[in-house]
Amino acid sequence: MKTFCASILLFLAFSILGLAQDVTAEEESKQINIVYGANFTKNEAEYPGASIFSKDNRQVQFEHQGADLWCDVAIYYQLENRLEAIGNVILKQGDSVEMTSKKINYLGDVKLAKAWGNVVLTNSDMTLKTDTLRLDREKQEAFYQDNGTVVDSANTLTSKIGKYFMELKKYQFLDSVHVENPKYTVDSEQLDYYTTSKNFYMYGPSTINGETYKIYCERGFYDTKIESGYGIKNTRIDYNNRIIEGDSVYFNKAKEFASATNNITVTDTINNGIIRAHYAEVFKAKDSVFATRRAVSISVQERDSLFVHGDTLMVTGKPEDRILRAFRNAKFYKTDLSGKCDSIHSEQKTGITQLIKNPIIWNGANQMTGDSIHLKSNLETEKLDSLKVLQNAFIISLDSVSMTGYNQAKGINLYGQFIENELKIIDLVQNTEVVYYMYNDDDELIGIDKTVCSKIRITMAENDIENLTFYTDPDGDIFPEKDLPKNSRILKGFVWRGDERILTKDDIFDEDDNNLELVVINGIDNPIDIDAEEQQRSQNESDPINNIQTQDKATDPKKSVKPKKVK
C-alpha cells in the first residue's frame, strides 16, 4: 500500500513538473525577444522596471512571434512583456505587412500594437496613412479613429474611422468616407472595400459621381473595375437626362444599361415626362426605356397631365424625337378625355398619338369609336389640337334627361377641333346619320331627331352637344316619341360601352395590375456580401470534411433545402 501511494505521489510530481515546463515554454514563446540591444541603460525614476536600449551604428531590434521591430530607442518591460518603441519605428510581419511610425506601444501577451505619429501601414497592394493606428496581430486587424487615407492601385480612400481585416483584405470605412478615382468619386456614411476585387459595399447614405452618371443609395454594391453596381434601398440614378428611382436599381456603364425593380419612377428631365412601373430597363445607346408590371407614362402638363398605360411601355429616340409605345391592353386618361385600345403609338416630333386596333375614347360622357383614332397636339403649347376617327366613326352619349335613350351620330370619318384642351367642334363626313333627343328649356321632350345627310357639324359646350348643323340635302324629321319605335332609335353598328369608361387615372389599371405581387428585394436587412460568400465557398471547397457534409445535404432529400418561391 505504501509503495502504491509513493508511486501515485511520484506520478503527480512528474505531471506537475511537466505542466510547469509546458507553461514556461508557452510563456517563453509569448516573450518579446531582443535581437540587437545596442546601448543599454536604466532609469528607475521615470521607467521603473524597464530596460532602455538606444541605437548606435544601427537601430535597436526586437522579434516577437513572426514580427520584427526596429526603432531608435526602446523601453522594454520584460516582466510585463511590453515594449515602447520611439523614433523611426518599423514593424514588419513577414513579407506581407510593414508599419512605420514615430512611436509604438506593443503588448506581447495579446500581440497588440498602438502606433502614433505619421503612421504608414503597407502591404503588397495598398498603403494606409493615419496619425494613430491600432494593430491587432492576433486577429490580424488594424483600426484607426482619427482620420485615415488608404491608397491602392485604383483608388484613394479617406474616412474618419477605418478598420482593416488583413486575412480578408477588406477595409471597413466609417464616418465621412470619400473615394477619389480619375473616373469617379464616392461619398458614403459607411463603405466596405475589398482591395483584391476592388468592390464597394455601401451602407447608409452614399453617392457615386461618374463622368456620365450619378448614383445615390442607402444600401448598395459597386464594382469599381467596370463601374457597375446596384442599390437596394432608396436608390436613385441620374443617367442620360433621366432620373431612375426604385426599390432596387442596377447600373452598368460599359453596357450603357440600367434596370430597376419595384416602385420605379423614371423621369425625363428634358420632356418633363415620368414613367412609373415595377420593372424597367434603360438603354443609353438607344436612348430608350422599357417598362412593364403596372407601367404608366405620365406627360406632365399644366393642370392636366396625360396618363398612358399598357402591359408594356417603350420610349425610344432622342429627346426632340421621342416615341412612346404602349402594347396590349393600352389605356390613357386626362381630364375629360380617356380611351383604350390594343396599342398606342405617340410621336413627339409630330405630336400625333395613334390608337391602334379596337380603339374607343370618351370625351366627357361622349363615347367615340372607329377603326382608327388619331389625336394631335400643338407642338408649341403641347395642348390637344385636333382629333381624327377614321372609318366607321360613331359617337354615342346617354340621354342625360330620360337616362334611357341614346344620342347618336355616325359617318365614315370624324374630325374634331380642340380649343384650350376642350373638344369644341366635331365634323362627321360621308354617309352621316343622327338620332338626337331634343328638349325645350323646361327639359320637356320635343321629339327625336332622326336625319341622314352628307355632313354633320356638332358644336360642343362643356363636353355636351350644343348645336347640330346638317349639310348637303339632309333627309329626316323630328318624330314624337310615340311615333318612333325603339328599334328605329338605334343606328346600325350601335354598341354602348359605358361600363368601360375610364373616369379616373386609377381606372387605367385592371384587377391584375392592382393585385400584382412585388418581387422580394433581398439584402436590405441582411447585407449580401458577394466577396465574403465567394471566400466562404473557396474555404468549403478546400475543406474535405465540409465538402462531404455539403455533398450529403445535396444528395439526402431529408437534408435538402427547398428554394422559396417568389411571385
- Do 544 and 428 reside in the same domain of the chain? no
The partner residues of 243 in beta bridges, in order of sequence, read 238, 267
Q: Which three cell numbers stand for residue 283?
A: 438603354
d(CA 449, CA 101): 102
Is 368 found in the same domain as 496?
yes
Is 567 in a helix, a strand, or coil? coil
Quote the cell numbers at residue 558: 431529408
The answer as to whether 193 is a domain residue is no
**Co-location of 367 and 466 in the same domain:** yes
**Looking at residue 541, what is its pLDDT?**
63
Secondary structure of 374-387 as H, E, C letters: EEEECCCCCCEEEE
- Beta partners for residue 97, in sequence order: 93
Any bridge partners for residue 332, and if so which? 308, 339
Q: How far is CA 53 from the centre of its chain?
A: 60
Residues 494 and 360 in one domain: yes
pLDDT at 338: 92
Q: Are residues 397 and 494 in the same domain?
A: yes
Domain-located, residue 369: yes
For 358-387, what is each residue's pLDDT tens digit? 999 998 889 999 999 999 988 887 788 899
What's the CATH number where 423 sits? 2.60.450.10
> Where in the sequence is the domain holding 538, given as residue range(s)?
532-556
In this structure, the answer to whether residues 445 and 543 fall within a common structural domain is no
Q: Is residue 95 part of a domain?
A: no
Report the alpha-carbon distance of residue 414 to residue 61 in Å, rounded: 99
Residues in Cβ contact with 169 at an 8 Å cutoff, skipping those fewer than 6 apart? 125, 194, 195, 196
Residue 362 lies in a domain: yes
Q: What grid cell was written down for 499? A: 361600363
**How do 288-292 and 51-54 pair as beta strands?**
unpaired
Residue reference for cell 515602447: 84
Residue 317 lies in a domain: no
What is the model's pLDDT at position 11? 45
Residues 503 and 545 in one domain: no
List the one residue out of 288, 33, 191, 287 whose CA is nearest residue 527.
191
Residues 468 and 543 in one domain: no
Burial per residue of 207-220, b for 16 or more beta-carbon CB atoms within 10 angstroms, e otherwise: ebebeebebbbbbb
Assess whether 363 and 476 both reside in one domain: yes
User: Is there a domain that residue 393 lies in?
Assistant: yes
Within-domain flag for 536? yes
In this structure, the answer to whether residues 397 and 546 fall within a common structural domain is no
In-domain check, residue 374: yes
Q: What is the pLDDT of residue 18?
A: 47
Q: Kindly provide the residue ranges of all beta strands, DSSP E only, lying in 317-421, ordered along the sequence.
A: 323-334, 337-347, 352-356, 360-363, 366-369, 372-377, 384-398, 406-419
Residues in CB range of 139: below 8 A, 6 or more apart: none
Phi, psi of 517 (to 5 degrees): -95, 125
Q: What are phi and psi of 50, to 5 degrees?
A: -105, 150
Q: Are residues 402 and 480 in the same domain?
A: yes
Q: H-helix or E-strand containing 238?
A: strand 235-239
Report how many domains make up the chain: 2
Examine the domain organization and report whether 375 and 469 are in the same domain.
yes
Segment-wise mean pLDDT, segments of 10 residues, the chain, 567 residues: 42 44 57 91 90 92 93 94 94 89 94 94 90 93 93 91 91 93 92 89 92 90 90 88 90 90 90 90 88 91 83 88 91 91 92 93 91 89 88 92 90 91 89 91 90 91 83 87 90 93 92 87 72 70 46 33 33
